[in-house]
Chains A and B, each alone.
Chain A
């Protein structure tokens, strides 16, 4: 199955009668046999012919020793794959010693036996072919990987396009987000905006799992929800007096849970928090659906409070009921919302970062702006894990309510 014809056989032997013997051995196989009496001649030849080659040489040639020849060819890029067979006089050397000492691939003992030479050359050819195939497959894989990486990067850009571009500062409210997917794309998405003059809505969604399948689900879900349940007009409803009212948060989440966008047979589901902040009064109403609790920093007492009673995730139980919870913020208070990638980050011993440590950071670093604080929290959690980055998607959003603002502007 391996053809001698395709492989160049280069023999470097000083003794003419041994060269003749090689001629004899390969006479019938019509192989490409090239005979040389010195190493330099052989190198010159190999330089011009860079296809598959097997070199059979003596330990010592007139112009150099075999290890020098091997070293010289291995240094040249196009010759480094040559297969070397040494002709030795050693009685007891085994191939491992020969390889170790001289860098050759195999050896033949003197006196030369025809079938021995033939077998060694054949196994050399087989080796070269396999190596060649492996190299070709490897190249193909590398190219394929580059292509996939490129596509994932452009998909990641698309994914980012449904997230808010920048932080927001209005007279009464500052909002900042920190988001980093653990791979190219993540299963997290989030958003916030004013839905009328005084009411600011926010949400954060974390699709279970991470990687491409979560990211695809998250992306299509995000697009779908922004067109339907999270679209401005859906966030209002008419009450019994035909007055337009803001739809309660748990009602929105319940509608999402029952929407067709979810495939209840898959094991992908998501957790979310959807909330409304009244920028006039500081009241926050929110629905927690399996998402981590909120952390409220009270600027007056300088204490933090972990808020939330938990709740079903979305996309698990079609008939699930959801609840709305509420609390009040005071002027200059801060509110933090994050995905579980943060609290569930593990250190080397397997301990979770948890809420308490996050609360401590929020209290200790209260003099930082919310933007800098979020970066700081992320860095602290990363160093807790002793890795370069976390192995889950992380999203943190922070709000600072600065009291009633007269106007708001988008930046």
Chain B
């Protein structure tokens, strides 16, 4: 699994999933990576999903798990989700828990 991260500022971390699938086979690695890089240091994570073509309920479960294990009032926003992936977020109303932005520049503009 390929993940990368970039610190945006003291409290915001950008994590990119450079893998086409976020499902049962890749979620254990993702959860481990997420907790290792986010720790209690960052209160907001911008998650770049633009390379993810397929995400299932396990993938969504992993995001929820990560969010619940962040610091109090922690937040995860998603960027660049493809149609299939976005469909899962709307079906489950998880788009209300994870705000979606089309482009990374949109998020950065809002944060800055």
Contacts and interface: CB of A to CB of B under 8 A. Distances in A.
Contacts of B65: 266-267
Interface string A287-325: 000101100000000000000001111001100000000
A346 B92 contact: no
User: Which of B56, B64, B93 neighbours the largest number of chain A CB atoms within 10 Å of its CB?
Assistant: B93
B17 interface: no
A292 B92 CA distance: 9
Interface in A256-288: 264-269, 271
Contacts of B20: 350
Contact of B91 (A211, A268, A310, A346): A310
A210 interface: yes
A267 B62 CA distance: 6
A204 interface: no
Contacts of A266: 65
A209 interface: yes
A280 to B, nearest CB: 31
Contacts of A218: none
Contact of A267 (B31, B54, B84, B93): B31
Contacts of B58: 208-210
Nearest to A265: B68
Contacts of A311: 92-93
B76 to A, nearest CB: 13
A208 B61 contact: yes
A273 to B, nearest CB: 12
A267 B68 CA distance: 9
B59 to A, nearest CB: 9
A264 B67 CA distance: 12
Interface in B43-71: 53-54, 56-58, 60-62, 64-65, 68
Contact-size category for B = 20 to 34
Contacts of A310: 90-93
A271 B57 CA distance: 9
B1 interface: no
B4 to A, nearest CB: 22
B64 A267 contact: yes
Nearest to B53: A350
B56 A290 contact: no
A312 B61 contact: no
Given A271-B92, A292-B91, A206 B57 contact: yes
A269 B31 CA distance: 16
A344 B56 contact: yes
B24 interface: yes
Contacts of B62: 267
A385 to B, nearest CB: 13
Nearest to B91: A310
Given A317-B97, A352-B54, A352-B84, A267 B61 contact: yes
Contacts of B61: 208-209, 267-269
A204 to B, nearest CB: 14
B25 to A, nearest CB: 9
A265 B1 CA distance: 25
A340 interface: yes
A312 B92 contact: yes
Nearest to A211: B24
A211 to B, nearest CB: 7
A208 B57 contact: yes
A350 B24 contact: no
Contacts of B54: 344, 346, 350, 352
Contacts of A208: 57-58, 60-61
A106 interface: no
A312 B94 CA distance: 7
Nearest to B92: A290
Interface string B86-100: 000011111001000
**Which 6 interchain pairs have the tightest Cβ spacing?**
A267-B65, A290-B92, A208-B57, A208-B61, A267-B61, A310-B91
Given A316-B94, A350-B20, 15 more contacts: A208-B61, A209-B57, A266-B65, A267-B61, A267-B62, A290-B91, A310-B90, A310-B92, A311-B92, A312-B93, A313-B60, A316-B64, A316-B97, A317-B97, A344-B54
7 contacts: A208-B58, A209-B61, A210-B58, A267-B65, A310-B93, A312-B94, A313-B57
Interface of B: 20, 24, 27, 31, 53-54, 56-58, 60-62, 64-65, 68, 84, 90-94, 97
